[in-house]
Structure 1
């Protein structure tokens, strides 16, 4: 059974996007170290999960890019939770049905390599509520936005156990948590 890893960049105050969906603060810390980390973890991936907003951002960017990450992003199976979209134009992208949590569970049972949920805080809230996320891998950006879209929604209480942390030269700290009582996993480095 595949594990589902939530991978996101978050500010110190818990935001995954600023006002109006602003992500420009990601660029402040993106560099060779974070790019290498991303390439390494993508080797673990058997599929990517997105909510509609994140899918729209990714599908609007990756098909026109070149390089190792772009080739990977365009080829890997992608699964999208959306109540608004009826078709997907990005290569190898598939819509999840009316019960995305049931389909994610099915994907976990049918996929060998890990599944990654990128961004998609609203979709993440649904998957958290159904105990489908096996690991929370978060790049904490040394920034406070003072508002925006939080990764964890009010009322979502859970206890997590730290399994790894790594500080980057940019000031980003990558933390890895599993649900308390969850199985231990190996460190990436």
Structure 2
């Protein structure tokens, strides 16, 4: 069975975005980006699929293809952009009419049913970036196997909580890394049963 691994940046007080979806409080961190690629290796299968909600998809689609095509972009960013371009992207949205980024398909139906089906298919691990409402639905159903949380040293006070209305989850800490930026990367797995 394929694993689902969630990555999100969060504030110290647990928000993944400000009250209006703002993410201007993120601290850019190339060390953290590099650590994400290395974390879990060689145990983790290289992910080949990413799950996105509409907002995250539109943000990514407006940014990453341009980075991949820009020879002036930093090498690390181009590597990430090329990986995202090649991955299968599954976008969950009831309002989008179409998706245009290569290797992307739009799903308007049942998130839980579709993700349960994807987990049963052959393939590598599946990632979720951002997409708080999808994370909340999948976490509540116990479908997320691992959590990568990049804790940014900021208290927002208000915003969109990552685990809003999610049932209790027991997590086992696998690894931590701290960075000069003040970001801390926490890697957890869900304790089953």
Q: Which range, TM-score by smaller chain?
A: 0.7 to 0.9
Q: Structure 1 residues 59 and 43, CA, compared in 2 at 3 Å: closer, same or farther?
A: farther
1:7 maps to which residue? 7
Give the unaligned 5+ runs of structure 2: 69-77
Change in Cα spacing, 1:130 to 1:154, as seen in structure 2 (3 Å) is closer
* Partner Cα separation in structure 2 for residue 71 and residue 4 of structure 1: 21
Corresponding position of 2:56:
54
Q: In 2, distance between residues paired with 1:156 and 1:22? A: 26
Measure the CA separation in 2 of the matches of 1:79 and 1:37: 25
Match of 1:109 among 107, 117, 120: 120
- Structure 1 outlier segments of 4+, above 6 Å: none
Distance 2:90 2:2 in 1: 15
Inter-partner Cα distance in structure 2 for 1:35 and 1:159: 26
Q: 1:142 is matched with which residue: 144, 153, 164? A: 153
Say whether the 8 Å CA contact 1:39–1:69 is kept in structure 2: no
Separation in 1 of the partners of 2:53 and 2:191? 26
Give me the TM-score of the superposition, normalised by structure 2: 0.86
Q: Is the 8 A contact 1:46 1:111 kept in 2?
A: no
Residues 51-94 of structure 1 show CA distances to partners (whole Å, capped at 9, x for unaligned) of: 11111111111121122111111121100111111210111111
Q: Deviations over 1:20-77 (max 9, x none)?
A: 1111111x2x233112124436972111001111111111111211221111111211
Match of 2:73 in 1: none
Residues 37, 180 of structure 1: CA spacing in aligned structure 2 closer, same or farther, 3 A cutoff?
same
Paired with 2:166 and 2:120, the residues of 1 have a C-alpha distance of 29
Provide the alpha-carbon RMSD of the alignment: 1.8
Distance 1:74 1:35 in 2: 17
Give the secondary-structure state (helix, strand or coil) at the position aligned to 1:133: coil
Paired residue for 1:163, among 174, 178, 187?
A: 174
Q: How many residues align?
A: 180
- Change beyond 3 A, Cα 1:128–1:155: closer
